[in-house]
Amino acid sequence: GAISLLAFQGVFTLIQEHNLTYPFIYEKLYSMFEPEIFHTKFKARLFYLADLFLSSTHLPEALVAAFVKRLARLTLVAPPQDIVICLYFIGNLIIRHPGLKRLICHPHGGQVTRDPFIMDECDPTKSYAIDSSLWEIAALQNHGIPSIATAAKFISNPLPTIEWDLTQVLGVTEDDLFDQAIRKSSKAAFLTIDRPTSMFVPRGDRTQEFWKLF
């Protein structure tokens, strides 16, 4: 809940600065990523703390893969503005752990009849996320909101060498996405092909066959 999330900041400080040993810290963090988190005012802080806890490149790939897969699954039920946050976070985790590219394109290929990932597993290392794939993000490439569809295409392109800045999207709202879509669509709308030179209808225009001004 909210109290646990607020306490995580202090726990991280104790671990980082005072070498505190906190058992099952990643299991606790993993359990906080539920659909309800997108509707709380502490959502941005959770992503900020998760980014700090998962910043080390020495974490086991199976552990990080579980967070990647859980975030990918949550994008199917998250609000539009939170989908972009999840996508950027997933991209950053894959950049830190290049071995997780197997979730995008498995080195041995092949097809599976079902997703081996266990969403309800409390232990992230036992969720079989490392054997799964990011089919959820591939599905988002056909999302109705252009900004989300574009963000989801990062798995189809070479990954950048520099991570995405999460602070730029943590404060994005639904209104921001709507305004962005309106600005893009309005630029593509043309009211006339030829630039008008006067306020009168040009001579020979076919509209004169159907309209008479005077």
Residue 200 lies in a domain: no
Instruction: Domain of residue 25: give its range.
Output: 2-170
pLDDT exceeds cutoff 80 at 22 = no
Kindly state the average pLDDT of the residues 96-115. Answer: 80
Whether 26 is covered by a domain: the verdict is yes
Q: Does 115 reside within a domain?
A: yes
Q: Assess if residue 157 is contained within a domain.
A: yes
Instruction: Tell me the per-residue pLDDT of 193-204, one tens digit each, with 9 for 90 and over.
Output: 566 566 565 555
Mind spelling out the 3-state secondary structure of the chain?
Answer: CHHHHHHHHHHHHHHHHHCCCCCCHHHHHHHCCCHHHHHCCCHHHHHHHHHHHCCCCCCCHHHHHHHHHHHHHHCCCCCHHHHHHHHHHHHHHHHHCHHHHHHCCCCCCCCCCCCCCCCCCCCHHHCCHHHCCCHHHHHHCCCCCHHHHHHHHHHHCCCCCCCCCHHHCCCCCHHHHHHHHHHHHHHCCCCCCCCCCCCCCCCCCHHHHCCCCC
**Is 147 within the bounds of a domain?**
yes
44-68 pLDDT, tens per residue? 888 988 998 898 889 999 999 999 9
pLDDT given for residue 126 in this prediction: 94
Q: Is residue 24 part of a domain?
A: yes
pLDDT bracket for residue 5 (50, 70, 90): low
Number of domains in the chain: 1
Domain presence at residue 179: no
Note every long-range contact of 157-166, with CB atoms under 8 Å and residues 24 or more positions apart, other chains counting: 159/91, 159/94, 159/95, 159/101, 160/95, 161/95, 163/91, 163/92, 163/95, 163/96, 164/88, 164/91, 164/92, 166/47, 166/48, 166/51, 166/85, 166/88, 166/89, 166/92
Instruction: Give the pTM.
Output: 0.79
Report yes or no on 194 lying in a domain: no
